[in-house]
């Protein structure tokens, strides 16, 4: 092949090239137009959204009959600058070689397909404009996340996928086993004997890497996870997937106030990165997916996030005069309608809501002196509500132990989690961001199934 000899279309269109002659491109045909004296091919090679236009001056000299939409080709020719068109450079073909043809049953003939249809052929949808853009964008934003943390001295942690604990209570857990389900070994009492399973106890897929991240933070200082997490919930919504990627930073010697500064900096960094480093993708989203998306991001970048307590939020909501579906009452969890009222109507910018009632939050959050609220924070943004949730962690051994006992947790199993409070405990804080939720927010894509290459949802783990 000509892997190293060819020129990527991205480089050609950006005129990041040494040579205009004897240029080789390798790619797939997106469209073909043939007339008697001239033909045009639009070629895409995956390096960028845009196609390279190939101009063929003597069409009958080339094997164009066998070259249809979807076919892979090698084209050698020379580049020419053209004026007054969107693409300011095109190629005059000298040699055209068919590599792999695309029969007429190629499902990508038509220019437009519904996202629903494309989910059925998820193996071919990356070849469309939208899913090419989404996948390249996903890659760049994943790198942005690493860059943010690495530049700030955070250490990347691979938290385990298979775990034997689910105490976080964040959601339903998938079982991981090597048992023959037809004949699992039973104990004398007739129960499943997990001591004979692969890991010697009941195991499942992680719902969060947070507890392990806490542990690492109390040794390495600042850490972050970025890995897959799982929920075995039968939620068929546009915002839920059974497998998704989470980012969970954890900072030692850091209280809630300080962490909120990091959250604000992080969100603004990511939005700015998208605008600055992914202009092609953002223009596409802004034009085809959600008009006005760029303005929404810019407003958030320029905003100073509001800060209120949960109790203040309840007060605002009670006085709002709004007719909420879920009546407002101290002690309730905020629903999306409440969150959106706060960020969209009341503050008109992102809001950090802190100090939620203890009873609606997780066991590891630091209990306030009032013994009723905990040092939790949800960061709310217009249109969706909560995008990031976090907390200062309970670092006091006795307080945490008491709380775990209240909740009837298996203390022995979590002794390691208690141990990091026993030996040189430190105030520490962390938060979680769902990577797909971030991508949906920046891009305006409406369904989580369309920002993951191979989504896993109830009833679907294809490809």
Q: Which residues from 70-129 bind a second copy, rule CB under 8 A?
A: 70-72, 99-103, 106, 108, 123-124, 126-127
Site for a second copy in 310-329 (CB under 8 A): none
The residue among 353 and 439 lying less far from a second copy, judged by its C-beta, is 439
Q: Which of 32, 155, 157 is nearest to 93 (CA)?
A: 32
Q: Closest approach of Cβ 421 to a second copy, in Å?
A: 8
The residue among 88 and 234 lying less far from a second copy, judged by its C-beta, is 234
DSSP β-bridge partners for residue 402 = none
Site for a second copy in 336-365 (CB under 8 A): none
User: Could you tell me the strand order of the sheet in which 222-230 lies?
Assistant: 155-157, 222-230, 243-252, 428-434, 385-392, 373-381, 351-357, 306-309
The residue among 405 and 413 lying less far from a second copy, judged by its C-beta, is 413
Residue with tokens 């689910």: 166
Q: By CB under 8 A, is residue 308 in contact with a second copy?
A: no
The residue among 144 and 342 lying less far from a second copy, judged by its C-beta, is 144
Q: Quickly count: other Cβ atoms within 10 Å of residue 462's Cβ.
A: 11
By three-state DSSP, how is residue 95 classified? strand
Site for a second copy in 130-189 (CB under 8 A): 131-132, 135-136, 138-140, 142-143, 146, 150, 153, 155-164, 172, 174-179, 181-182, 184
Taking CB under 8 A as the rule, which mask of x and - marks residues 195-234 in contact with a second copy? ---xxxx-x-x------x--xxxxxxxx----xx-x-x-x
Q: Closest approach of Cβ 228 to a second copy, in Å?
A: 5
The residue among 22 and 419 lying less far from a second copy, judged by its C-beta, is 419
The residue among 109 and 383 lying less far from a second copy, judged by its C-beta, is 109
- List, in order, residues 6 or more apart from 231 with CB less than 8 Å away: 170, 171, 172, 207, 240, 241, 242, 244
By three-state DSSP, how is residue 28 classified? strand
Q: By CB under 8 A, is residue 13 in contact with a second copy?
A: no
> What span, in angstroms and rounded, lies between the C-alpha atoms of 264 and 454?
31
190 Rama sector, left if φ>0, alpha if ψ -120 to 50, beta otherwise: left
The C-alpha angle 71, 72, 78, rounded to 5 degrees, equals 120
Q: Closest approach of Cβ 126 to a second copy, in Å?
A: 4
> What span, in angstroms and rounded, lies between the C-alpha atoms of 304 and 308?
13
Q: Closest approach of Cβ 442 to a second copy, in Å?
A: 16
Q: By CB under 8 A, is residue 422 in contact with a second copy?
A: yes
């Amino acid at each position: 092949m000509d892997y190293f000899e060819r020129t990527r279309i991205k480089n050609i269109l950006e005129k990041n090239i040494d040579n205009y002659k004897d240029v080789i491109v390798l790619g797939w045909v997106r469209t073909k137009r043939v007339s008697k004296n001239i033909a045009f091919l639009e070629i895409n090679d995956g390096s960028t959204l845009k196609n390279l236009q190939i101009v063929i001056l003597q069409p009958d000299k080339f094997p164009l009959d066998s070259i249809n939409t979807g076919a892979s080709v090698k084209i050698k020719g020379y580049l020419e600058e053209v004026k007054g068109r969107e693409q300011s450079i095109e190629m005059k073909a000298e040699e055209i070689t068919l590599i792999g043809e695309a029969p007429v049953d190629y499902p990508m003939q038509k220019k437009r397909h519904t996202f629903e249809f494309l989910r059925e052929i998820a193996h071919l949808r990356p070849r469309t404009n939208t899913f090419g853009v989404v996948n390249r964008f996903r890659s760049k934003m994943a790198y942005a996340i690493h860059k943010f943390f690495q530049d700030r001295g955070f250490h990347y942690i691979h938290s385990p996928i298979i775990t034997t604990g689910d105490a976080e209570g964040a959601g339903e857990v998938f079982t991981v086993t090597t048992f023959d389900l037809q004949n699992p070994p039973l104990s004398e009492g007739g129960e499943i004997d997990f001591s004979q399973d692969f890991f010697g106890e009941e195991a499942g897929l992680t719902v969060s890497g947070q507890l392990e991240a806490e542990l690492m933070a109390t040794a390495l200082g600042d850490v972050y996870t970025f890995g897959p997490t799982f929920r075995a919930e039968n939620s068929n919504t546009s915002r839920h997937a059974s497998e998704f990627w989470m980012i969970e930073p954890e900072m030692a010697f850091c209280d809630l106030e300080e962490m909120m500064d990091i959250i604000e900096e992080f969100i603004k960094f990511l939005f700015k990165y998208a605008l600055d480093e992914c202009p092609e993708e953002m223009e596409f989203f802004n034009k085809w997916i959600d008009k006005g998306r760029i303005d929404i991001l810019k407003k958030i970048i320029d905003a100073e996030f509001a800060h209120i307590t949960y109790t203040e939020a309840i007060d605002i909501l009670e006085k709002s005069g709004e007719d909420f579906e879920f009546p407002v009452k101290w002690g309730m969890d905020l629903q999306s309608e409440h969150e959106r009222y706060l960020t969209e109507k009341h503050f008109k910018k992102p809001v950090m809501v802190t100090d939620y009632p203890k009873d609606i939050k997780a066991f590891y959050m630091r209990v306030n002196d009032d013994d009723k609220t905990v040092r939790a924070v949800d960061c709310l943004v217009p249109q969706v509500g909560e995008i990031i949730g976090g907390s200062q962690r309970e670092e006091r051994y006795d307080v945490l132990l008491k709380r775990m006992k209240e909740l009837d947790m298996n203390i022995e199993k979590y002794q390691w989690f208690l141990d990091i409070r026993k030996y040189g405990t430190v105030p520490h804080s962390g938060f979680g961001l769902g990577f797909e939720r971030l991508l949906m927010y920046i891009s305006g894509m409406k369904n989580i199934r369309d920002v993951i290459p191979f989504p896993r949802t109830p009833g679907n783990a294809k490809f």
